[in-house]
Amino acid sequence: MIPPVIIITGASRGIGRSIALFAAETGYSVALNYANNKTAAEEAAHLCEQRKQNSQQQFRPIRANLADAEQYENLFQQTLQHFGRIDSLVNNAGIAPRVRADITETKQDSFNEVISVNLTASFFLTQLVVNHWLQNKTDNDTGNRNIIFISSISAESASLNRAEYCISKAGLSMAVKLWALRCAAHGIRVFELRPGIMATDMTSGVKEKYDKLLEEGLVPQKRWGTPDDVGLAVQAILKGHFPFTTGEAIRIDGGLHIHHF
């Protein structure tokens, strides 16, 4: 049996790598997108090989800087050319502002860069994939087509020193609703996964601050989230465990979103 194929953006490290590993474990071939770190992407592909369930599964790193429309279009085309199909897409790649600045000092170049990677690329890569499916309705259709957006607690919690990041994630949350509404009648499910405080490269510079806050109970589960927490959630979706769900935001935050005293 030909394995299904998934595109994962930002798949070389962190959350994206974990998602790739759980996809491999679920029987998927994976197009592992990366921006610059080819070594990390190749290592991720090698780790996927160790988890594959089917000898026909393949794991291909594909370089594309998602700030460039031509490059994410190339990611889509290379995936189709190499694998011959696409069954799911995970819009995971995301960047924080290079410099955290108060909203009164946010620079337009920083705003544009974060929005272009986090929101614009995710929206239009999704458009490419969905249009391909709508135009090829019976082409290798497994009946389990999913679009997954990795957003953030910042989609609903404001941080005044990284406004561009919060706005990009809030935009993703609306994109999920829009794509879910458009795709529901075609059997395509769309999900938002909303991680909370996660132990990744992006948060490494504020580890000491959040260690203290976690100990004090900011997160009811009193721990950092891990990339595997997100990978496991994606795996559940890929296994078809949410057949009557679409347009939903699934929080992966240890209870951080719960209002409590």
Q: What is the CATH number of the domain that holds 50?
A: 3.40.50.720
Could you give the count of Cα atoms lying within 13 Å of 156 in the half-sphere of its Cβ?
Answer: 16
Q: Is the pLDDT of residue 223 over 80?
A: yes
pLDDT score recorded for residue 142: 65
Domain carrying residue 47: 5-248
Q: Is the pLDDT of residue 101 over 80?
A: yes
pLDDT band at 20 (very low <50, low <70, confident <90, very high): very high
pLDDT band at 25 (very low <50, low <70, confident <90, very high): very high
pLDDT score recorded for residue 103: 98
Is 53 within the bounds of a domain? Answer: yes
pLDDT tens, position by position, 192-218: 999 999 988 777 777 888 788 888 888
**Cα–Cα dist 75/112, whole Å:** 21
Is 115 within the bounds of a domain? Answer: yes
Domain count, the chain: 1
pLDDT tens, position by position, 40-60: 999 999 999 999 999 999 999
Is 257 within the bounds of a domain? Answer: no
Long-range contacts of 130-138 (CB under 8 A, 24+ apart): 130/179, 130/182, 130/183, 130/188, 132/76, 132/80, 132/86, 133/86, 133/186, 133/188, 134/186, 137/186
Is 256 within the bounds of a domain? Answer: no
pLDDT score recorded for residue 208: 82
The mean of the pLDDT values for the chain is 94
pLDDT band at 259 (very low <50, low <70, confident <90, very high): confident
Is 162 within the bounds of a domain? Answer: yes
Long-range contacts of 104-108 (CB under 8 A, 24+ apart): 106/163, 106/164
pLDDT score recorded for residue 206: 75
Q: Which residue has the higher pLDDT, 206 or 29?
A: 29
Is 261 within the bounds of a domain? Answer: no
Is 258 within the bounds of a domain? Answer: no
Is 192 within the bounds of a domain? Answer: yes
Is the entire prediction scored with pTM above 0.85? yes
